[in-house]
């Protein structure tokens, strides 16, 4: 099985695990889901990246992760504003 | 085929994830029986049915217990068992809460049950006050014995006056308890409840009142006979006007000091035995105090004045009237600054000013504005997006006013206005915006750095100094490494001599020496990490495409059966091994390819 396919499967299993636990907890929080997705994709990107080779899909993955980090920053900023204005 | 199956599986899982998120994201709180109470548009028919079926079975025994509860407490008070009475009162409170919850849960609107519930609440209040007052009277009895022995007339007067105040209060409670009797009996008869215990409790209550009156008469008798008050040359008078009032009314308590040196003297005023103020007499010895009714319970209260801790006035009483309040909340308006809630609080006699009203969103207090002179209140509250239940509540047990609750409004806060609403409640907060901006800027920089980060350089472990940067094996790049031919020759000759030395006796070890030599030489020439770890076949796969590949394969073909199979090679095979070894060595050196 190719590394790329393994990464996709691992990420999907991670997301299913998150949703499973959220369903068991009785609530779905999209913000938490997003943050956990970001953590998952960061870990997978680090594990799949090769020291000598740099496949094309890793380049696109980097852009996706960078966008995710920015969205994460926005979520944190909104939370800070909410807490400070309470 | 295998890859396509993986793709299909990944696609199915992706769709499952996306569908699951989108199905639940609009209403993230999932339904379960414990959420029935606060999950919108959710009902649990099974639960409702079970509650409805045993409604009468639960309610009537509970009402019967509530009717009997005051009797037990009063009996214990009569016999002086205050601890047991306190425990029974706690049980009475719990029973009362049970009936309140039951009536609310079942949405009962029958007048009999509602009347019963209201009268029970009143009984609970009466019994609670009775227990507090009798406990204090018990303390006074102990103090009286102590101060009588010490012959302290001031303390004896104070105790007697406080006892009088409590006697008045308990008498008033008794009258209230009796007034409950008829309507409660009427309701109980209609619901077929036994009221014998309740009737008996009234008799016991009457006995307590009689006993307290007797004790109080004894106190007055003792005070007048054993502690004559005419030790000073002054006399103090007191009066109240009007004799009753309600919340925010003013009671004028005045009096006069007579005797010698009556001008500019301090007179202490006690209300319900607590020192409330100190007034100064004028030149005629008159004094007065304007008492504004605020934090004082409804009912009968006593007042008396004391001069120089030795001259006591008579006891006067005044009554505080309990008022019902009504609170009105207008339909909340959603504005840019938040949710605007306006309303008014008033009693039957007019608006209530200067009191705190609570605004509740989803049963949590979100604002507590004060009413103005016309009883109006308003507040802007910030709420998160979604549906909210808004209502206004007035509740203050320290004032002689009933609690009241407005109607409940359901307000939907749009998602776009959520952040603004939260911020506008406390005006725009610049530091928080700066911090938020810095966080966003930081994450943008972090994202940019992540895209443009450089990987650590890969370092190849090995001894060859002239190794190329790229690890890919290229035939053209191998050739320049084949240098230092004299050393190569000497190493080859050395290995071959060793081979010849033991080839006759131990051919297995001999071919091993040749292979080890070739492996070392190939490892020197190619960028191989740990060449000693390579098996013959791994080495063979690494050198595919190189000039000596065919010779090496021939060598391995003879080497493996001898080395691993312990096969004794014939002379022809031995020649082949030597020839292929020499050919490889030559080509590694850079000589003739043939």
- Tokens at B82, concatenated: 């205050």
Residue B466: Cβ-neighbour burial (10 angstroms; 0-12, 13-18, 19+): exposed
B242 preceded by a cis bond (ω within 30 of 0): yes
Cβ contacts (< 8 Å) between A70 and chain B: which residues? 440, 443-444, 447
Number of residue pairs across A and B with CB atoms under 8 Å?
110
Q: Do B289 and B176 fall within a single domain?
A: no
**Which residue, B226, B259, B281, sits at the end of a domain?**
B226
Q: Do B329 and B190 fall within a single domain?
A: no
Query: What average pLDDT is seen over chain B?
Result: 78
Instruction: For residue B201, give the nearest of B185, B215, B212 by alpha carbon.
Output: B185
Q: Do B277 and B329 fall within a single domain?
A: no
Query: Closest to A12 (Cβ–Cβ): which among B14, B425, B432?
Result: B14
Q: What is d(CA B503, CA B59) in angstroms, rounded to the nearest whole number?
A: 108
Per-residue model confidence (pLDDT) at position B377? 92
Beta carbons of A66 and B448 less than 8 Å apart: yes
- Tokens at A16, concatenated: 């299913």
Which of A43, A78, A84, A86 to probe the B interface (max B CBs under 10 A)? A84
- Tokens at B519, concatenated: 């492996």
Does the pLDDT at position B434 exceed 70? yes
Element spanning B251, H or E: strand B250-258
Asked whether residue B441 is assigned to any structural domain, the reply reads: no
Beta carbons of B443 and A26 less than 8 Å apart: no
Alpha helices of B341-471 — where are they, by DSSP H? 418-424, 430-451
Q: Do B82 and B162 fall within a single domain?
A: yes
Per-residue model confidence (pLDDT) at position B49? 45
Cβ contacts (< 8 Å) between A2 and chain B: which residues? 3
Instruction: For residue B270, give the nearest of B282, B262, B279 by alpha carbon.
Output: B279
Q: Which residue has the tokens 């000589």?
A: B591
Does the pLDDT at position A37 exceed 90? yes
Residue B215: Cβ-neighbour burial (10 angstroms; 0-12, 13-18, 19+): middle
CA angle A21-A25-A31, nearest 5°? 75
Q: Report, in this order, helix, strand and coil percent for chain B, each rounded to 5.
A: 55, 20, 30
Asked whether residue B106 is assigned to any structural domain, the reply reads: yes
Q: What is d(CA B509, CA B503) in angstroms, rounded to the nearest whole number?
A: 8
Q: Do B542 and B584 fall within a single domain?
A: yes
Q: Name the percent of chain B lying above pLDDT 70.
A: 81
Which range, B167-176, B181-190, B307-316, has the best average confidence (pLDDT)?
B167-176
* CB contact set of B155 (below 8 Å; sequence gap of 6+): B143, B147
Q: What is d(CA B526, CA B529) in angstroms, rounded to the nearest whole number?
A: 9
- Tokens at B543, concatenated: 């050198």
Which of A21, A69, A74, A80 to probe the B interface (max B CBs under 10 A)? A69
Query: Closest to B447 (Cβ–Cβ): which among A1, A26, A67?
Result: A67
Per-residue model confidence (pLDDT) at position B533? 82
Per-residue model confidence (pLDDT) at position A40? 92
Per-residue pLDDT band at B464 (split at 50, 70, 90): very low
Asked whether residue B48 is assigned to any structural domain, the reply reads: no
Q: Do B190 and B245 fall within a single domain?
A: no
CB B430 within 8 Å of CB A81: no
Per-residue pLDDT band at A14 (split at 50, 70, 90): very high
Q: What is d(CA B369, CA B342) in angstroms, rounded to the nearest whole number?
A: 10
Taking residues B279-292, what's their average pLDDT? 89
Q: What is the pLDDT of residues B33-91, one digit of tens each?
A: 555 444 444 445 544 444 444 556 667 788 888 888 888 888 888 888 888 888 888 88
pTM equals 0.44
Taking residues B580-593, what's their average pLDDT? 76
Instruction: Tell whether A2 lies on the interface with B, counting CB pairs under 8 A.
Output: yes
Q: Which residue has the tokens 């915006």?
A: B433
Q: What is the Rg, in whole angstroms, of the alpha carbon atoms belonging to chain A?
A: 16
The region that residue B131 occupies, defined by phi over 0 for left and psi between -120 and 50 for alpha, beta otherwise, is alpha
User: Counting every residue, how long is chain B?
Assistant: 594
Asked whether residue B104 is assigned to any structural domain, the reply reads: yes
**Which residue, B292, B320, B348, sits at the end of a domain?**
B320
Per-residue model confidence (pLDDT) at position B472? 41
List B residues 380-409 in contact with A (Cβ-Cβ < 8 A). Answer: 382
- Tokens at B102, concatenated: 């039951």
User: Counting every residue, how long is chain A?
Assistant: 86
Q: What is the pLDDT of residues B409-428, one digit of tens each?
A: 888 887 754 444 444 444 55
Q: Name the percent of chain B lying above pLDDT 90.
A: 2
Beta carbons of B433 and A81 less than 8 Å apart: yes
Q: Do B162 and B80 fall within a single domain?
A: yes
Mapped to the 3 state alphabet, what secondary structure does A57-82 carry?
Answer: HHHHHHHHHHHHHHHHHHHHHHHHHH
Q: What is the pLDDT of residues B351-365, one digit of tens each?
A: 888 888 999 888 788
Asked whether residue B442 is assigned to any structural domain, the reply reads: no
Crossing angle between the packed helical segments B82-106 and B45-53, to the nearest 10 degrees: 120
Q: What is the pLDDT of residues A20-32, one digit of tens each?
A: 888 888 777 888 8
Q: Do B143 and B214 fall within a single domain?
A: yes
Does the pLDDT at position B183 exceed 70? yes
Q: Do B75 and B61 fall within a single domain?
A: yes
Taking residues A50-60, what's their average pLDDT? 71
Range of the domain at B140: 53-226
Name the closest residue on chain B to residue A79, using Cα atoms: B436
Q: What is d(CA B427, CA B289) in angstroms, rounded to the nearest whole number?
A: 45
Q: What is d(CA B425, CA A77) in angstroms, rounded to the nearest whole number?
A: 18
Angstroms from B37 CA to nearest CA on chain A: 15
CATH number assigned to the domain comprising residue B350: 2.60.40.10
Q: φ and ψ at B346, to 5 degrees?
A: -150, 165
Q: What is d(CA B462, CA B532) in angstroms, rounded to the nearest whole number?
A: 12
Listing DSSP states for B116-171 in one string gives HHHHHHHHHHHHHHHHHHHHHHHHHHHHHHHHHHHT-HHHHHHHHHHHHHHHHHHH
Asked whether residue B380 is assigned to any structural domain, the reply reads: yes
- Tokens at B481, concatenated: 């490494």
Interface predicted TM-score (ipTM) of this complex, two decimals: 0.76
**Which residue, B320, B355, B388, sits at the end of a domain?**
B320
* CB contact set of B423 (below 8 Å; sequence gap of 6+): A81, A85, B382, B429, B432
- Tokens at B28, concatenated: 């993230």
Looking at residue B276, what DSSP letter applies?
E
Reduced to 3 states, what is the DSSP secondary structure of residue B410? strand
Does the pLDDT at position B466 exceed 50? no
CB B139 within 8 Å of CB B199: no
Of residues B159 and B468, more confidence is placed in B159
Instruction: For residue B404, give the nearest of B396, B395, B414, B415 by alpha carbon.
Output: B395
Q: Do B510 and B539 fall within a single domain?
A: yes
Number of domains comprising chain B = 4
Q: What is d(CA B528, CA B532) in angstroms, rounded to the nearest whole number?
A: 10
Q: What is d(CA B367, CA B418) in angstroms, rounded to the nearest whole number?
A: 17
Other C-beta atoms closer than 10 Å to the C-beta of B399 total: 21
Per-residue model confidence (pLDDT) at position B105? 57
Q: Tell me how far the alpha carbon of residue A82 is from its chain's centroid.
A: 24
Looking at residue B110, what DSSP letter applies?
-
Query: Closest to A8 (Cβ–Cβ): which among B10, B35, B447?
Result: B10
Q: Which has the minimum average pLDDT: B209-218, B262-271, B414-423?
A: B414-423
Q: Do B103 and B171 fall within a single domain?
A: yes
Instruction: For residue B417, give the nearest of B350, B493, B338, B532 by alpha carbon.
Output: B338
Cβ contacts (< 8 Å) between B28 and chain A: which residues? 27-30
CB B556 within 8 Å of CB B534: no
């Amino acid at each position: 099985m190719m590394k790329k396919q393994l990464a996709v499967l691992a990420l999907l299993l991670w997301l299913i695990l998150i949703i499973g636990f959220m369903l068991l907890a009785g609530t779905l929080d999209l913000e938490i889901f997003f943050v956990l997705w970001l953590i998952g994709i960061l870990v997978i990107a680090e594990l799949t990246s090769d020291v000598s080779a740099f496949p094309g899909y890793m380049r696109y993955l980097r852009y996706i992760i960078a966008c995710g980090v920015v969205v994460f920053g926005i979520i944190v900023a909104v939370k800070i504003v909410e807490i400070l204005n309470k | 085929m295998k890859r396509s199956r993986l793709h299909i599986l990944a696609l199915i899982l992706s769709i499952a994830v996306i569908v699951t998120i989108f199905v639940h994201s609009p209403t993230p709180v999932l339904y379960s029986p414990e959420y029935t109470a606060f999950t919108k548009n959710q009902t649990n028919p099974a639960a409702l049915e079970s509650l409805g079926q045993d409604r009468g079975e639960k309610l009537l025994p509970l009402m019967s217990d509530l009717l009997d509860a005051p009797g037990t407490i009063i009996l214990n008070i009569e016999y002086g068992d205050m601890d047991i009475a306190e425990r029974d009162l706690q049980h009475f409170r719990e029973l009362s809460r049970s009936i309140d919850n039951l009536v609310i849960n079942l949405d009962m609107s029958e007048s009999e049950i509602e009347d019963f519930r209201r009268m029970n609440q009143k009984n609970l209040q009466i019994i609670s006050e009775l227990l507090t007052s009798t406990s204090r009277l018990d303390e006074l009895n102990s103090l009286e014995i102590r101060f009588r022995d010490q012959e302290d007339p001031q303390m004896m007067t104070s105790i007697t006056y406080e006892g009088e105040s409590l006697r008045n209060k308990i008498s008033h409670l008794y009258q209230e308890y009796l007034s409950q009797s008829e309507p409660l009996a009427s309701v109980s008869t209609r619901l077929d409840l036994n009221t014998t215990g309740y009737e008996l409790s009234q008799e016991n209550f009457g006995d307590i009142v009689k006993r307290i009156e007797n004790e109080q008469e004894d106190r007055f008798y003792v005070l007048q006979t054993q502690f004559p008050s005419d030790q000073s040359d002054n006399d103090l008078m007191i009066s109240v006007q009007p004799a009753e009032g309600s919340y925010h009314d003013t009671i004028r308590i005045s009096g006069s000091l007579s005797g010698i040196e009556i001008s500019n003297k301090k007179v202490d005023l006690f209300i319900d035995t607590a020192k409330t103020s100190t007034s100064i007499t004028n030149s005629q010895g008159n004094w007065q105090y304007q008492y504004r009714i605020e934090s004082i319970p409804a009912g009968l209260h006593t007042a008396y004045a004391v001069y120089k801790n030795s001259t006591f006035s008579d006891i006067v009483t005044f009554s505080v009237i309990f008022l019902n309040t009504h609170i009105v909340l207008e339909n909340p308006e959603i504005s840019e600054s938040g949710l605007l809630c306006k309303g008014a609080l008033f009693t039957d006699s007019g608006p209530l000013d200067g009191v705190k009203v609570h605004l509740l969103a989803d049963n949590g207090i979100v604002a507590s504005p004060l009413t103005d002179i016309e009883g109006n209140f308003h507040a802007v509250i910030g709420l998160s997006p979604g549906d909210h239940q808004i209502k206004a509540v007035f509740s203050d047990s320290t004032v002689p006013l009933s609690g009241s609750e407005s109607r409940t409004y359901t307000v939907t806060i749009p998602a776009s206005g959520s952040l603004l609403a939260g911020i506008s409640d406390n005006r725009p907060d610049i530091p928080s915006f700066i911090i938020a901006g810095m966080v966003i800027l930081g994450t943008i920089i972090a994202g940019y750095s992540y895209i443009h980060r450089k990987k650590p350089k890969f370092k190849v472990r090995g001894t060859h100094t002239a190794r190329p940067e790229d690890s890919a094996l290229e035939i053209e790049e191998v050739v320049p490494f084949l240098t230092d031919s004299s050393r190569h020759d000497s190493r080859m000759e050395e290995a071959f001599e060793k081979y010849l030395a033991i080839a006759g006796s131990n051919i297995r070890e001999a071919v091993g020496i040749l292979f080890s030599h070739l492996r070392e030489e190939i490892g020197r020439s190619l960028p191989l990490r740990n060449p000693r770890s390579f098996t013959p076949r791994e080495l063979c796969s690494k050198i595919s495409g190189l000039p000596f590949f065919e010779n090496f394969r021939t060598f391995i073909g003879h080497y493996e059966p001898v080395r691993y199979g312990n096969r004794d090679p014939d002379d022809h095979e031995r020649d082949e091994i030597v020839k292929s070894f020499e050919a490889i060595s030559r080509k590694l050196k850079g000589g003739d390819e043939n």
